[in-house]
Amino acid sequence: MASLSAANAQFCFDVFKEINYDDTTENLFFSPLSLLSTLAMVLFGARGNSASQMEKVLHLNELTRTANSSNTRCEQDTRVHSHIQGFLSEIIKSSRSQVHMASGVFAEEAHPFLPKYLDCIEQLYKVKPQNVDFKNNLEATRTQINAWIENKTKGDIKNLLLADCLTSSDQLVLVNAISFRGTWKYAFQKDQTTAMAFRLHEVTNEITYEKLSNWIGSASMKDTAVVLYLPQLRLDGHHEDLASILTALGMTDAFDHSRADLSGITAGGGLRVSKVIHKAMLEVTESDSEFTSTNQTSKVENPEIFKVDQPFLFFILHRETKMILFYGRVCNP
């Protein structure tokens, strides 16, 4: 389903532009696919205008109209949800990197999950939504969720939920954390690693899915010997609550107590999304790379010099599907 890659990319650029609107000088890092998959678990149980708005913000509206249900028991699937999980499973199996993800759906225990919703989300996303006690045991709930996240990310992401992150009035909290540890295919020479000046200026936010597709298309790509100067990459993107970002993009009803229709998640009404918390961690190192310093391209005549000494944007894509897994902006290495 190539159009899912397009939907993910469009959602990625929408979120980036909205975050970038308020802050253009700090590092920014997030995982659009990981975030989209977490929101899609709520979309599965959303109905009416709440569902329509979410489909539009996630750019899944065209996919849900044209796809046919592949699972009669989970008829809301329409193949979109199983495809999202398929992409995630394929990426996590990558042999050159370690990707660990924790996607959680936590609802106040006064709003028990419908058995069918629990069954389908576990079947489609391999995630078990949990009822917790925000109202009476807030600190214990925060500790419980933090421990779960740390375990799911193999210790990469600890203490995601800060002391004042949750409130006793929270009803439905979405938590998504993802870590990526990779190595360069061609190792940087350690004896040539040194401190260099990094010039600051504004980074453009005019990138679109169409531009990206053109840049990475076979007609635009060719093998070229390059002498690359690049800052070491170790980024933490922590977004305590993306509710305002998603609301600005048009997902309003799901956060509104009087208008939210999440009747496919719990019976009785009154449930709304309280918070959407996301963190992505990236570390790319030189160790265990395929090539060592003895067989680099240093002897190639007239190589291209590519010196990254000013703010830059970068993507981490799944090569086969062109799916954007991570998107980042480095302003302060």
pLDDT attached to residue 106? 97
CB 128 within 8 A of CB 118: yes
Are the CB atoms for 179 and 280 separated by under 8 Å? Answer: yes
Crossing angle of helices 80-92 and 115-125, rounded to 10°: 40
Domain boundaries, the chain: 2-181+234-284+310-330
Please give the CATH architecture assigned to the domain spanning 2-181+234-284+310-330.
Answer: 2-Layer Sandwich (3.30)
Give 39-84 pLDDT, tens digit per residue: 999 999 999 999 999 999 999 987 766 555 555 567 665 678 888 8
pLDDT digits over 68-78, tens only? 555 556 766 56
- Strands 273-285 and 233-239, sheet pairing: antiparallel
Q: What is the pLDDT of residues 88-110, one digit of tens each?
A: 888 777 655 688 899 999 999 99
How many C-beta atoms lie closer than 10 Å to residue 244's C-beta? 13
Mean pLDDT across the chain, nearest whole number? 84
Contacts 24+ apart (CB under 8 A), 314-319: 315/212, 316/180, 316/282, 317/216, 318/87, 318/90, 318/91, 318/94
pTM of the entire structure?
A: 0.84
Half-sphere exposure of 264 (CA within 13 A, CB side): 20
